[in-house]
């Protein structure tokens, strides 16, 4: 082991330059409160959601949404990606 023999170890300073800082976590673009009527039809659009990230670059972030695994097995709802965040 290197730690057993000091002659086989060395130290050197390393400088790291951070190029991007994630100051803000992604969040929904607005507050959503969604209701589903009991007579909703199969395939009916219920809600469109979008997300934003206040970090730079302003339009460089891509988001996707998916159902949690336990609901994806027997889904009563589906998610369609409209490629618009």
For the segment 4-26, the average pLDDT, to the nearest whole number, is 71
Entry pTM: 0.56
Strand partners, 52: 27
Determine the pLDDT at residue 19.
Answer: 67
Rounded Cα distance between 61 and 23, Å, is 14
Whether 51 contacts 27, CB under 8 Å: yes
Phi and psi (nearest 5°) for 55?
Answer: -75, 160
Rounded Cα distance between 20 and 35, Å, is 38
Burial class (CB in 10 A: 0-12, 13-18, 19+), 85: middle
pLDDT grade for 54, boundaries at 50, 70 and 90:
confident
For the segment 15-34, the average pLDDT, to the nearest whole number, is 79
- pLDDT, one tens digit per residue, over 29-44 is 898 888 888 888 888 8
């Amino acid at each position: 082991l290197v730690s057993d023999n000091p002659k086989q170890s060395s130290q050197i300073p390393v400088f790291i330059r951070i190029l991007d800082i994630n100051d803000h976590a992604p969040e929904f673009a607005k507050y959503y409160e969604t209701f589903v009527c009991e007579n909703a039809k199969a395939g009916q659009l219920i809600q469109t959601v979008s997300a934003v990230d206040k970090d730079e670059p302003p339009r460089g972030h891509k988001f996707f949404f998916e159902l949690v695994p336990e609901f994806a097995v027997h889904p009563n709802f589906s998610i369609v990606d409209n490629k618009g965040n």
